[in-house]
Structure 1
Amino acid sequence: MGGEDPVLILGIESATQQVGCALGGHEGVLASAHSARGRRHAESITPQIQFVARQARINLKDVGCVAVDLGPGLYTGLRVGISSAMAMAYALGVPMIGVSSLDLLAFAVRHTNRLIVAAIDARRSELFYAFYRQVPGGVQRVSEAQVGTPDDLASELLATGEEMLLVGDGARRYADVFAGLQKTEIAEQGLAHPSAASLVQLAHARALREEFVKPWELRPIYLRIPDADVNWNTR
């Protein structure tokens, strides 16, 4: 798959309340679709894939790689997205690339010079978050991804003393906690969820470096025991 072959990528993203798909490659993102309301993730993904394929005028048999958001995020949505992406990769006989949901959020605001803080609503009054800085062509994570309360994150932000841009549905949900912090701005609602278009762009750069994995090698990034397991253990 090396050499001059332009790798066509199908991206599937379902780590938060939004589900999205996109197709693209060396020409950029050819088509994408996202939905955050209505039907459940499992019922949205297949029609979305068919829709973006029609919009891009692509036969899915021409896809050379399936990219997927590995999380962290909401357990059920993540599981649906990853299993759908793996099923597509198996059916097409192509490799995969997995990308973190926090990386996707940060990538969307890569043109800022400020410290980027990607924060996803983890429910149970917690956030999944990580810190990023702009680098040529994208962003670089400068902290481990972690789970903590909004107050935990606010304390970390206060300690940095830097100008910061917060992005993600977690930042927006707990905006009141961060409102009092100086030099801190929250990105617009349109950037609150990881984007399937960003997934295709990030995955394409990695595909050119042939950083593929086999479907069975993919590992979701949970950061926390899934709610279903917690509920079972406490019964």
Structure 2
Amino acid sequence: MGTPLILGIESATSRVGCAIGGPDGVSAARESAEPRRHAESLVPQIAETLEESGVTMADIGVIAVDVGPGLYTGLRVGITTAITLAHALNAAMVSVTSLELVAHEVRRSCTNRRIDAVIDARRGELFHAAFGANGDPISEPAVLDPHDLVTMLANEAPETLLVGDGVEAHSETFAQGGFHTDGSSVYPSAETIVELAVAAAAAGKTVGPDSIRPLYLRGPDAQPIGIVAPEAEPTGETMRTIRREAVARAARERSEQERE
């Protein structure tokens, strides 16, 4: 059995997007950088990518989502939407962290050095993780003060490449530390989620929707997945329509398969 069609959902930062693809690449993608409009943007984006790809929700076999770390409300939108659709479709899921997405984006053109991914956590802090020259993680995701990170890296990895929107947010601090900051405009993308999810699905590394957990890192943000901020829950007629269509199409597909 081949790798199923994958829907990737990205909402961990100030940007929100989705992509559809498989082993042959991404067939359609959408992204929006409008602040605080994740809930309004994501579901219409999914509908548009389905139409552009010429597929329906019933064709989606895996839903992959960025589980953070990132901005709380954005993560709520993406993860809630992904889990809702996975339950409706009986689809498998893949979780990817925002930090490994940023590192992977840069790894394509930088294959022989350490990469430290930094995402703006607001409140004067950064989400951080380090990845070795082979791409494997060499530190756990953490939330750090930028000055503490500079001190740490000056001691253990002065030649590392810093990437992610956290570089731009704290550019003066990193510049004063003398660090390389190529790729500072890199954000996690839904296209990269699909790329990583293809490999995960092919290796059998999928999970059920009940296994998906957000990676908040910060104590005040670490609320259970069942507690949904009113402004973060993607309700509305579009979401209800997609849910209804997902259930109906999946049922029709199962019925057709049983008749064959």
Is the TM-score greater than 0.5? yes
1:121 paired residue number? 120
1:31 paired residue number? 28
Provide the aligned C-alpha RMSD in A: 1.6
Deviations 1:153-183 (A, max 9, x none): 1111211244222111111100110002335
Give the CA deviation at 1:78.
Answer: 0.4
> Are the equivalent residues in 2 in contact too, given 1:172–1:186 (CA < 8 A)?
no
Q: Distance in 2 between matches of 1:148 and 1:69?
A: 20
2:92 paired residue number? 95
1:206 paired residue number? 200
2:138 paired residue number? 142
Give the CA deviation at 1:226.
Answer: 3.4
Deviations 1:122-153 (A, max 9, x none): 11111110001232xxx211111111101011
Give the CA deviation at 1:186.
Answer: 3.4
Gaps of 5+ in 1: 230-235
> Are the equivalent residues in 1 in contact too, given 2:167–2:184 (CA < 8 A)?
no
2:211 paired residue number? 217
Choose 1 or 2 for highest CA Rg.
2
Select which of 132, 138, 154 maps to 2:150. Answer: 154
Select which of 75, 81, 94 maps to 1:78. Answer: 75
1:62 counterpart = 2:59: yes
1:130 paired residue number? 129
**Matched residue SS, 1:211:** coil
1:226 paired residue number? 220
Aligned-residue identity in percent: 48
Deviations 1:191-221 (A, max 9, x none): 1x21100100001100001111111111111
Give the CA deviation at 1:5.
Answer: 1.9
Please give the residue correspondences for 1:167-206 in structure 2 after superposition, counting only pairs within 5 Å.
167-182=163-178, 184-189=180-185, 191=186, 193-206=187-200
1:50 paired residue number? 47
1:232 paired residue number? none
Change in Cα spacing, 1:216 to 1:160, as seen in structure 2 (3 Å) is: same
**Matched residue SS, 2:219:** coil
Select which of 147, 161, 165 maps to 2:161. Answer: 165
Q: Distance in 1 between matches of 2:5 and 2:193?
A: 13
